[in-house]
Structure 1
Amino acid sequence: MHKEDKEEGIDAALIALLALLWEARREAPEKPWSLAKLAKRAGIQMSTLLRQLNALSSAGLVTVATAESGGGSASLSTAGAELCASVFAPPAAD
Structure 2
Amino acid sequence: MDEEVMAALAGVLAALWRIDAEWPDKPCSLAKLSKQAQRPMSVLRRQLTMLEEAGLVTLALDDGGVSGNVALSAAGRQMAAELWG
**TM-score, shorter chain, exceeding 0.5:** yes
Structure number with the bigger relative contact order (C-alpha 8 A, sep ≥ 6) is 2
SS of the equivalent of 1:11 reads helix
Q: How many residues align?
A: 84
Aligned to 2:71: 75
Give the distance between the partners of 2:14 and 2:79, measured in 1 at CA. 11
Consecutive unaligned residues in structure 1, runs of 5 or more: 90-94
Spell out, residue by residue over 1:9-48, the C-alpha distance to the aligned partner (whole angstroms, 9 max, x if none).
Answer: x610100100011111111222121101111122211110
Aligned to 1:41: 36
Consecutive unaligned residues in structure 2, runs of 5 or more: none
Q: Alignment partner for residue 12 of structure 2, among 10, 14, 17? A: 17
Bigger radius of gyration, 1 or 2? 1
SS of the equivalent of 2:24 reads coil
Give the distance between the partners of 1:67 and 1:42, measured in 2 at CA. 21
Say if 1:24 and 1:32, in contact at 8 Å, map to a contact too: no
Give the distance between the partners of 2:39 and 2:20, measured in 1 at CA. 20
Tell me the TM-score normalised to structure 1 length.
Answer: 0.80
Q: 4+ residue stretches of structure 1 with deviation over 6 A?
A: none
